[in-house]
Amino acid sequence: MNKGRSRGGKGRTHGAARSAAVVPVDAPFQKNEEVTVDIIGLTHDGEGVGRADGYTLFIQGALPGERVRVKVMKVKKQYGYAKLEELMLSSPSRIEPPCDIYKECGGCQLQHFDYPAQLEWKRQHVVDNLMRIGKLSVAGEGRAVDGESASTGIVVRKTVGMDEPWRYRNKAAVPVGASSADGGLLAGFYARGSHRIIDMDDCLIQHEHNDEVIRVVKRIGRELGAAPYNEETGRGVLRHVMARTGVVTGEIMVVLVTNGRKLPLVESWIERIRRELPAVKSIIQNVNERDTNVIFGDDTFVLWGSEVIYDELDGIRFAISARSFYQVNPAQTVALYRKAVEYAGLTGTETVIDAYCGIGTISLFLARQAGRVYGVEIVPEAIEDAARNAALNGITNASFEAGPAEVVIPRWRKEGITADVIVVDPPRKGCDPALLETILSMQPERVVYVSCNPSTLARDLRVLEDGGYKTVDVVPVDMFPWTVHVECVVRLYRE
């Protein structure tokens, strides 16, 4: 594989897109026109960035270093979108996607890109965001080095990948709909950029148990005559099916999301699921009657079995309910959290605050090496799960409170709780600005930032740097192989 060319193209991706957005040129092409372009990078969505006559085209399925013939589909003044028609010069990193429905399904974006090249691109994507959005200095100016001194800039390590990057997801949540051919029930992921369901029986990034649950539930639904939900009319019963698998324990949860409390033939549903899926420990119904893209409604009922299933991460046992946030890639979660604990620099005496603690996953990892851990999370049900998980593992030096971190942590400070280390693991939108201000006012010695979005990470690191912290290390972790997503663990010290 030509790593130099692949890395160089990816490093220029955002620069190309940015310059195209500010150069006041008229589009040189018209819709449906065919044109040959050279691909110089990838966008954060995994689209190829092509340049022709000074104009930028975004092309799904194209890779850096390729020359392609495309059909222009949409034209704007500064940029446009095109459809890949012919590969004239193929990248050495291009592979044949193993999934039969990859070109239709929107679940993965990078199955045509070989795995080592994906890991390089994800690292470069992080570097680009740190430099472009955060205006931060990166050691080696983007070269994948692991031994440079932090004095030359932030060290962005090589992406931590998987030895076997398939079958890693422990949770599947798929919409249910009706086949346009015969009206029969189908379930699968949406096609790219639409709400058209691509029927799926086998997903190569899902645990095999999840695939089996989806297949069985579809079959039962068809045989029981279950009416699939119709987004346009708001009618129908079955909206989504979710499967959770405890990878270590082998326990399975099945969640049926319905458009109303009544599930016709509910006893038959229970009997059939239990008979055809013997490993199932929990059958749950969630009710969502709202006109929304959000999967879950507010009301959840146990139809049969336990309210939770159990799994383990690095020897810590977790109770997982239907709506718990629990990382979907357990092997990489262990790598991610071990690095977070390492960056916390714990000796056994420190007080640690875990903002956005969820069900206590990072908190309990930290508690094994800290003096005291305080977790805060805005979702009350998650805090109940966190307390239950601490008790389940006999961990007594961790406590949890529900509420906004930017409100609870300042109150803790007034009560005399000061942190040596603060760990944040926010959603994709990043940290609340008030929480960043709280961190700066509390002045912990170290901050560990766990991020699922490089752009908001870069924005927040800029705020922390301006407030007196120094970003030292960033480790990208590939939690979602074959997709464009990447997580990071970041170590900061107070200067």
Tens digit of pLDDT for each residue in 469-487?
Answer: 999 999 999 999 999 999 9
Which residue spans of the chain are classified as CATH 3.40.50.150? Answer: 122-163+329-494
Q: What is the DSSP letter of 151?
A: G
Contacts of 411 (CB under 8 A, 6+ apart): none
Is residue 256 within a helix (H) or strand (E), and if so which, with residue range?
strand 252-258
CA angle 485, 162, 3 (to 5 degrees): 75
pLDDT in tens, 264-320: 999 999 999 999 999 999 999 999 999 988 999 999 999 999 999 999 999 999 999
Most confident of 144-148, 176-180, 298-302: 298-302
**The pLDDT value given to residue 152:** 76
Distance CA 206, CA 194 (A): 22
pLDDT grade for 2, boundaries at 50, 70 and 90: very low
- Collapsing DSSP to helix, strand or coil, 127 comes out as helix
**The pLDDT value given to residue 19:** 36
CA angle 132, 495, 352 (to 5 degrees): 95
Least confident of 11-15, 101-105, 251-255: 11-15
Q: Tell whether the model's pLDDT for residue 442 goes beyond 80.
A: yes
Return the higher-pLDDT residue of 231 and 445. 445
Q: Tell whether the model's pLDDT for residue 252 goes beyond 80.
A: yes
- Tell me which residue of 333, 303, 304, 305 sits closest to 318, measured CA to CA: 333
pLDDT in tens, 387-420: 999 999 999 999 999 999 999 999 999 999 999 9
Which residue spans of the chain are classified as CATH 2.40.50.1070? Answer: 171-313
pLDDT in tens, 347-399: 999 999 999 999 999 999 999 999 999 999 999 999 999 999 999 999 999 99
**The pLDDT value given to residue 431:** 96
For 3-89, which CATH class? mainly beta
Catalytic-labelled residue, pool 108, 203, 431, 452: 452
- Collapsing DSSP to helix, strand or coil, 458 comes out as helix
Least confident of 19-33, 60-74, 220-234, 264-278: 19-33
Tell which CATH classification among 3.20.20.80, 2.40.50.90, 2.40.50.1070, 3.40.1190.20 matches the domain 171-313: 2.40.50.1070
Q: Tell whether the model's pLDDT for residue 214 goes beyond 50.
A: yes
Q: Tell whether the model's pLDDT for residue 1 goes beyond 80.
A: no
The structure tokens listed for 205 are 């990034």
Distance CA 132, CA 458 (A): 8
Which residue spans of the chain are classified as CATH 2.40.50.140? Answer: 3-89
**The pLDDT value given to residue 429:** 96
Helix 208-224 to helix 266-276 angle, to the nearest 10 degrees?
Answer: 140
**The pLDDT value given to residue 106:** 86
pLDDT grade for 29, boundaries at 50, 70 and 90: confident
CATH topology of domain 122-163+329-494: Rossmann fold (3.40.50)
Query: What average pLDDT does the segment 108-124 reach?
Result: 97
Most confident of 12-26, 27-41, 393-407: 393-407
Annotated active-site residue 452? The verdict is yes
**The pLDDT value given to residue 28:** 87
State which amino acid sits at residue 317: R
Query: What average pLDDT does the segment 322-347 reach?
Result: 96
Residue pair 467/452 in contact by the 8 Å Cβ criterion: no
